[in-house]
Chains A and B, each alone.
Chain A
Amino acid sequence: MIIAQQKPLKDIAALISECNKVMLVGCAGCVTVCLAGGEKETEIMASSLRMMREVEGKPLQTITYTATRQCDPEYIPPMDEMVKDVDAVISLACGVGVQYMAERYTDKWVIPALDTKFIGGSTVHGEWVEKCGLCGECILHKTGGICPIIRCSKSILNGPCGGSQYGKCEISKDVDCAWQLIYDKMKALGKLDKLMEIQPPKDWSKSRDGGPRKAVREDVMIG
């Protein structure tokens, strides 16, 4: 899922200092799961902003709504009526959701309340780690299910490098060497011979190249 974290409340408050009424829009997708922008976080932020402004003697009105997914255009129109008389929209979605809101409500200032961080998963409740580099061509079958693109600090395909010591990466004693993990896993699988194959340089044209990427499934298109 997409992992995001809230911006400092004071930064958001500063952005809406001239507004009298704002709409806070949460998202029931990834940001609900990573506890950054779901219904609960949206209500907490609205309450905090209202109180902050009340203390400053400049009351703020808020409307809150949580869309099923802000990254799907079909879930945006139900907000049309609510958005009409607000001075700004604060989106607690990832960067995708913020853009869909801004696209639909062209005359509204849409403010991101979150910093979209990475694609990852949880380790324990309240902690998330990056797991996928969105490189566009998955090679996890070659590396024992451990992604060297994002989990190796150098993203090398033929590791480990000389900075691997006692299973840790040279950048930090808290960071596992991905290639040590890959080696251990492939050894356990009895597939060490696969690691002897030299991987050619990665084709980065499938990643951040050629502008925004697009995925198309013509068979599910309507109309």
Chain B
Amino acid sequence: MRLQYSTNIRIVEMTCTGNVDHRVLLNAFEEGADGVYVAGCMEGDCHFLKGNIRARKRVNAVKKVLDEIGIGGERLEMYNLSSAQGARFAQIANEMAAKIKELGPSPLNKARSGNGCCGCSKEGETK
């Protein structure tokens, strides 16, 4: 399909979204990610039955933590799509990147001051 999507996204592969622990999400923010989204399979399509349903619950719990610590729960989202939905994947990636761009960099983004440690984007990275 040769679809284009935002280049400032780093994909972290997991075996199943059911394996996405609170700590994995928090760690991304602590490392300076401006936003994180979890892309799980369609609800009802989980090979492990409820992995994606459980992931959504954890995402919602971590959103509350992010609100409480002053980072903002809106920087974390959960999406459901199948691996056959390439166009939807690109759409979500662009949507999330645009949303994070609007929110601005995370208070924990080390490159926020403009002194990027590794030449990373000043606009921040969506992880």
Q: Would A48 and B107 be within 8 Å (CB), given that A55-B71, A56-B70 are in contact?
A: no
Asked if B23 is at the interface (CB within 8 A of a chain A CB), the reply is yes
A44 to B25, CA, bound (A): 10
B69 and A9 contact, CB distance less than 8 A: yes
A48 to B107, CA, bound (A): 14
Contact of A51 among B21, B22, B23, B71 (CB under 8 A): B71
A40 and B30 contact, CB distance less than 8 A: no
Question: What's the least CB distance linking A102 to chain B, in Å?
Answer: 27
Contact of A54 among B22, B65, B68, B107 (CB under 8 A): B107
Q: Would A9 and B65 be within 8 Å (CB), given that A43-B23, A51-B29, A56-B70 are in contact?
A: yes
Question: What's the least CB distance linking A107 to chain B, in Å?
Answer: 30
Asked if B26 is at the interface (CB within 8 A of a chain A CB), the reply is yes
Asked if B27 is at the interface (CB within 8 A of a chain A CB), the reply is yes
Question: What's the least CB distance linking B69 to chain A, in Å?
Answer: 4
Asked if B108 is at the interface (CB within 8 A of a chain A CB), the reply is yes
Q: Would A48 and B108 be within 8 Å (CB), given that A9-B69, A55-B70 are in contact?
A: no
A44 and B70 contact, CB distance less than 8 A: no
A10 to B68, CA, bound (A): 8
B23 and A52 contact, CB distance less than 8 A: no
What is the size, in residues, of chain B's interface with A at 8 Å between Cβ atoms? 14
Q: Which residue in chain A gives the minimum CB-CB distance to B108?
A: A54
Asked if A168 is at the interface (CB within 8 A of a chain B CB), the reply is no
Q: Would A52 and B69 be within 8 Å (CB), given that A47-B27, A47-B30 are in contact?
A: yes
Main secondary structure of the interface of A (DSSP, over half): helix
A40 and B21 contact, CB distance less than 8 A: yes
Asked if A142 is at the interface (CB within 8 A of a chain B CB), the reply is no
A47 and B68 contact, CB distance less than 8 A: no
Neighbouring B residues of A9 by C-beta, 8 Å: 65, 68-69
Question: What's the least CB distance linking A16 to chain B, in Å?
Answer: 14
B30 and A50 contact, CB distance less than 8 A: yes
Q: Which residue in chain A gives the minimum CB-CB distance to B64?
A: A9
Question: What's the least CB distance linking B113 to chain A, in Å?
Answer: 13
Neighbouring A residues of B108 by C-beta, 8 Å: 51, 54-55
Name the residue among A51, A52, A54 with the largest chain B CB count within 10 angstroms: A51
A44 to B29, CA, bound (A): 12
Interface set, chain A 50-106, CB cutoff 8 A to B? 50-52, 54-56
A44 and B22 contact, CB distance less than 8 A: yes
10 A–B contact pairs at CB < 8 A?
A10-B68, A40-B23, A47-B27, A48-B26, A51-B26, A51-B71, A52-B69, A54-B30, A54-B108, A55-B69
Given A47-B27, A51-B69, A55-B70, 4 other A-B residues pairs in contact with their CB atoms under 8 A: A9-B65, A40-B23, A50-B30, A52-B68
